[in-house]
């Protein structure tokens, strides 16, 4: 299984709602990522989990709360979002290959994304 799955495909929510995005992979990858992508822009990294621990938070507002309950699952909890948070949210996973010096050649596998609209 070389797929990363994401649910739901589409989500519409009000600014006072609480919702969650889900991502799952069964490739044995121990690194998982959340990206936000606005139209006609490249993906912007939000969070990185490595061995189920948060290793990178790219200064994301606290209204986005990630969770990695196990090595196959990654959630993104949403609360009190703003209309400007409307975007495609992509999940990815990869092996953890850390080279000397800290760089990593992490080939990432992406899910199809969740299209989020905040009203």
Partner 1 sequence: AQSVTQPDIHITVSEGASLELRCNYSYGATPYLFWYVQSPGQGLQLLLKYFSGDTLVQGIKGFEAEFKRSQSSFNLRKPSVHWSDAAEYFCAVAGFQKLVFGTGTRLLVSP
70-to-8, 14, 39, 40, 94 alpha-carbon distances in Å: 19, 29, 31, 33, 15
User: Which residue lies nearer to partner 1 by CB, 16 or 102?
Assistant: 102
Q: Which stretch binds partner 1 (CB under 8 A): 13-21, 36-44, 62-70, 74-82?
A: 36-44
Q: Decide if residue 110 touches partner 1 (CB under 8 A).
A: yes
Backbone φ and ψ for 99, nearest 5 degrees, come out as -90, 170
User: Which residue lies nearer to partner 1 by CB, 43 or 85?
Assistant: 43
Tell me which residues in 50-69 interact with partner 1 (CB under 8 A).
50, 55-56
Size of the site for partner 1 (CB under 8 A): 31
Distance between CA atoms of residues 88 and 114, nearest Å: 6
Tokens linked to 107: 């080939």
Minimum distance of partner 1 from residue 4's CB (angstroms): 8
């Amino acid at each position: 299984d070389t797929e990363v799955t994401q649910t739901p495909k589409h989500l519409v929510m009000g600014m006072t709602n609480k919702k969650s995005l889900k991502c799952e992979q069964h490739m044995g990858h121990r690194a998982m990522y959340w990206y936000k992508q606005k139209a006609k822009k490249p993906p912007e990294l939000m969070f990185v989990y490595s061995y189920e621990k948060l290793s990178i938070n790219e200064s994301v507002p606290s209204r986005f709360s990630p969770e990695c309950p196990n090595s196959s699952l990654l959630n993104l909890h949403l609360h009190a979002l703003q209309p400007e948070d409307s975007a495609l949210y992509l999940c990815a996973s990869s092996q953890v290959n850390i080279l000397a010096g800290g760089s990593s050649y992490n080939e990432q596998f992406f899910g199809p994304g969740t299209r989020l609209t905040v009203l």
